[in-house]
Amino acid sequence: MKHTKWLSWILLLLIFWPLTSWSADSRPDDLDLPELQFTIEYPETFRLSNGIQVYYRQDAELPLLDITVVVESGKITASPQKAGLAQLLADNLKKGGAGQWPAAAFDRAVDDLAAALNVEAGTYTTRCSLSLLKEDARQGLSLLAALVRQPHFDAERFEVSRQQMLESLRRKADHGAALAQQILMARLYASHPLAVSPTLKSVTAITREDLRANHQRYFGPANTRIVLTGDVDQKTARTLLEEAFGDWHHDSETPDVPPLQPHVQPGVVLVDRPVPQTTILLGELAIEKTNPDLYAVQGMNYILGGGGFSSRLMREIRSNRGLAYSVYSYFSVGRRLPGIFISAAETKNASVAEVVGLMRQEMERISRESITPAELEQAKQSLINSFVFAFDNRHALATRILDQELFGYPDNYLEQYRQHIAAVTVEDVQRVAQRYLHPQQQVTVLVGDIETLREAVKGWNLPVAEQRVEDLL
């Protein structure tokens, strides 16, 4: 055992000694390491006989295949009266049986392959993903194609799924952050489908026939794209996909995404939740992916509240004053419509006014005063160096390329991202802060003890509304 231990130390020394000449006073940031090289490996593309676009990349590292089917049919397709339909559809695509397989038989068939199957509804798309051994590719693709093309929506499974969703909604009352997010989305996207969240009433109104109708309306080759990566050559991949999806012919509608008519009303919304801690959300509409200020905004947000313990919000509110365990900000970049800016914190009820004041103060300060070159350099290095971890495997990268084309990202977005971040200046950060941060015009949502909150908001000179938890469920 002693010999083994010493051998391990010698091997480690031989591996790491060429990287640096360490001394007792050496620091990790003194290491002289080569510059990180990162090349975008674009997938090959081809079309099946029915027009489905395929993104393919061979990856022989492991004897596996990963397949993702992306269909343009998401939460945006549900009416306000049936909010939650897309989530139920996704759950029942996975659990409700398909093709020649009843629900239980479908589950067994997936288990027999030791495959990982996932179906998820997003805002604009539904994604069906399968990971399995390459030797099971034909059988796995048969199951996946049946799920996408011929779902059963088993009646018993549907009812279980709906009851689970209803119970989840009832429990939302225990989650202040979820309540605050729902209110903020409703205020910022008022009268738009993005403003709508599932409720007990809307989910109760959904039927199996609604799922069938939505599937019939939007699921078809024209709305479908496929990503396939793994240990298979392109000729075999094309053959397998053609067998599974090539004879699928169905006319489908392209989902309509209504334009956003911004008419956000600034103000404060109070929600009574009798607990010792208040959830705070401040938010406003933000930017789209095509906005040339995107990179400066990301740098600015990192410094303000997106950089963890190095951010100003965290340093001032948590580290310096101990008023919150978690405080942060982020800009969500809209894919087809403007995203949102959110600044969030949780603090004891008695500290709400102070914390909100400090959050607004930091937003005003970054707009009014220039940041330091050191702050900017840290932000840029963090964003640049973390960029590669968004593509930790070839399938994730190929799927990102699909999204880039599907949602119309700027040309060469991925290749140029790091260069654009590196080009951000101190002046850019102050300029975008002035343009996109409006702390006095934001919607503020406070979920906590109502009596304490009423006192906290006095003197804010903003419209104050109160909302009951029961009306949000």
Whole-number pLDDT of residue 27: 61
pTM for the whole structure: 0.85
44-245 domain in CATH 3.30.830.10? yes
Whole-number pLDDT of residue 51: 95
pLDDT 10s digits, 247-263: 999 999 999 888 888 77
pLDDT 10s digits, 283-340: 999 999 889 999 999 999 999 999 988 899 999 999 999 999 899 999 988 888 899 9
Q: 228 and 66 in contact (C-beta within 8 Å)?
A: yes
Whole-number pLDDT of residue 259: 86
Whole-number pLDDT of residue 181: 92
Contacts of 307 (CB under 8 A, 6+ apart): 314, 378, 379, 382
Whole-number pLDDT of residue 415: 84
Whole-number pLDDT of residue 31: 61
The pLDDT profile of the chain, 473 residues, written as one tens digit per residue, is 434 444 454 444 444 445 444 455 556 556 665 665 667 888 999 999 999 999 999 998 899 999 999 999 999 999 889 999 999 999 999 999 999 999 999 999 999 999 999 999 999 999 999 999 999 999 999 999 999 999 999 999 999 999 999 999 999 888 889 999 999 999 999 888 888 999 999 999 999 999 999 999 999 999 999 999 999 999 999 999 999 999 999 999 999 888 888 777 789 999 999 899 999 999 999 999 889 999 999 999 999 999 988 899 999 999 999 999 899 999 988 888 899 999 999 999 999 999 999 999 999 999 999 999 999 999 999 999 888 777 778 898 999 999 999 998 887 888 888 999 999 999 999 999 999 999 989 999 999 999 999 999 998 888 899 988 888 88
Whole-number pLDDT of residue 14: 46
Return the CATH fold of 267-472.
Cytochrome Bc1 Complex; Chain A, domain 1 (3.30.830)
Domain ranges of the chain: 44-245, 267-472
Whole-number pLDDT of residue 63: 94
Whole-number pLDDT of residue 410: 80
